[in-house]
A and B are shown apart, each in its own frame.
Chain A
C-alpha cells in the first residue's frame, strides 16, 4: 500500500471507529491537540450521515423519537458506512438492520415502515424514463400479445407487509394528536409510484398485486395472467395509465 493510501485508510479508521492513535501523530497540533482537530471531521461526517438517514426515513425517525433514532443510526453508520457519494441513496440496508436491531424488537412493524420509506425514496430518486402507453401496444400484432414482456419503469415498485405501514407512516408524519392506527392484523399490498404531483401510494387487491408483481418481473403476458381471478383488462389498462412500464 502506498504512503497516501495508508494515511487515508488510517484517517478513515480514526473518523469511523474513533481510533485516532496512528493518525494523530501525523498531524500538526499548533495550539489545538491533533485529536481535537480530528474530532471536527468526525463530528461533521457523523452529523451529515445522521441527517441523511433522518431525511431518508422521516416517519421511522418520528415514530421512534429522535433519541432512539440517533442511537440506531449511530450503530448503523458504524456497520454500514456509505459506499457511494449520494446521501439521498444512503440507507438501503437500514430496514434489514432495524429488523435485527435488538432494542427495536418490540416494534415488529418498524422494519417494514423503513422498507416503505426506502421504496418511496427509490421511486423519488429513480432516473427519468419514457413510459409505455396503450398506444404503443397497438403496434403489436394480436398473435404476439401473449408472449409480450414489459420492462418495469424505474419510478415504481410494489410492497407487501403484514402491517398497515402506509397508515402507520401517515400517522407518524401527522401533527400530534392524531389517533394511532391499529398496529396489527392488517396485511397490505401497495403500489408505489412517482407522479408529477409526488409519490403516490395505492392499496391493491390480491389479484392486481399478483398480476403487477409478475408483469414487473417481466413475465410473458400469458404467464402473468395465469390463474388471476376476474377480468384482467381493466387492471392492465390501469397499469399502463399509471406508467408502470418503461418503453424499451
Chain B
C-alpha cells in the first residue's frame, strides 16, 4: 500500500474541483472528505481523475466511531466501497460520535474518556478496520465542553486505543489548541504527552474567536489562515515527533485554491527545515 508522502497536502473542496482538474497545481497530496464522494456524478469523477496524479487521503466524518450502539453497517459498507475504488494512501475519522438511536447529527460530538468509552471506540475501530481492510488514523476532535466524569487524559486514551486496535493517530494541532483554550488545559503539555510513535498525519487549520458570558471561546470553523499559535505548535510537534504528512484544512468561507496552496507552502518550509536539521 502506498503511504502518504511526508509533505504538505491540501483539502479537496467542491469549489476547487475545476481548478484542480484543469491546472493540476503542485501539491504533495490531497485529502477528500469520504462522505462527499460516496455518490456518483462530477464530484466523484473529479476525485477518480485526480487520484491518478496525487496521493489521496480519505477523511471520513460520519463513521461515528464513539457511538455506544455500534456502527451503521450500510454507511460503513459505502465508505469501504469508496476505499476500494480510490485505494487511498490513508483513511481517517475522529475520536467522537454523531449517531444515537439511529439519528445522525452533523457534528463531531465529545465523548467522556472512560474505560467504557475506550471499549466502545476500540470495538468500533476494529470493526471498521476489518471491513475496509486497512488501519485507520484517529483524529483528536476540537471540544467545547468536557464531561465531569472523564478520568482518562486524551493522549493516554488515544495511545491505548492504538495499542488495542493497531490504528494510527491523526494529530490535529488546531483542534488541540482550540480544545486547550476552551477547556483550560496547556496545549504544549498535552502535545508533549502525545504518543508520537502512533501519529501518521498532522492537520493544520484556522479557527474563530467568540466571546460567551464574557469568556473567550475558540470555534473550530476551518475558515481562516493557520494562526501563529498553531504554527508554533506545529513547529514544536515536528521537533518532538519528526516531519509528517501535513494537511491544510479550509472548510468554510473557502478562498481561491491559491490561498490554500500558499498555506501548504508555509507548512512545507517548516517540514523541509526539520528534515534538514534531522539530517545534519
List the interface of chain A (C-beta within 8 A of B): 2-5, 7-9, 11-12, 15-16, 26-28, 30-34, 36-38, 40-41, 44-45, 48-49, 52, 81-89, 124-129, 154-155, 194
Q: How far is the CB of B214 from chain A (nearest CB, A)?
A: 9
With A7-B112, A30-B183, A128-B40 as known contacts, state yes or no: A12 contacts B147, CB within 8 Å. no
CB of A11 within 8 A of CB of B100, answer yes
Chain B, range 178-227, C-beta contacts under 8 Å to A: 183-184, 212-213, 215, 217, 219
A49→B106 CA distance, assembly (Å): 7
A34→B107 CA distance, assembly (Å): 18
A214→B149 CA distance, assembly (Å): 60
CB of A38 within 8 A of CB of B145, answer yes
- Against A, the Cβ 8 Å flags (1 = close, 0 = not) of B109-124 are 1011010110010000
- Chain A residues touching B, majority SS: helix
With A82-B104, A125-B40, A128-B44 as known contacts, state yes or no: A28 contacts B148, CB within 8 Å. yes
CB of B98 within 8 A of CB of A85, answer yes
Closest to A8 in B: B100
A48→B252 CA distance, assembly (Å): 11
Question: For the complex, is B62 an interface residue (Cβ under 8 Å from A)?
Answer: yes
Residues of the A chain whose Cβ atoms lie less than 8 Å from the Cβ of B183 = 28, 30
CB of A27 within 8 A of CB of B39, answer no
A155→B97 CA distance, assembly (Å): 32
CB of A40 within 8 A of CB of B105, answer no
Residues of the A chain whose Cβ atoms lie less than 8 Å from the Cβ of B217 = 32, 40
Residues of the A chain whose Cβ atoms lie less than 8 Å from the Cβ of B92 = none
Top 4 nearest A-B pairs (CB, nearest first) are A85-B62, A125-B39, A5-B68, A128-B40
CB of A12 within 8 A of CB of B75, answer no
Closest to A125 in B: B39
Q: How far is the CB of A84 from chain B (nearest CB, A)?
A: 6
Question: For the complex, is B69 an interface residue (Cβ under 8 Å from A)?
Answer: yes
Closest to A127 in B: B40
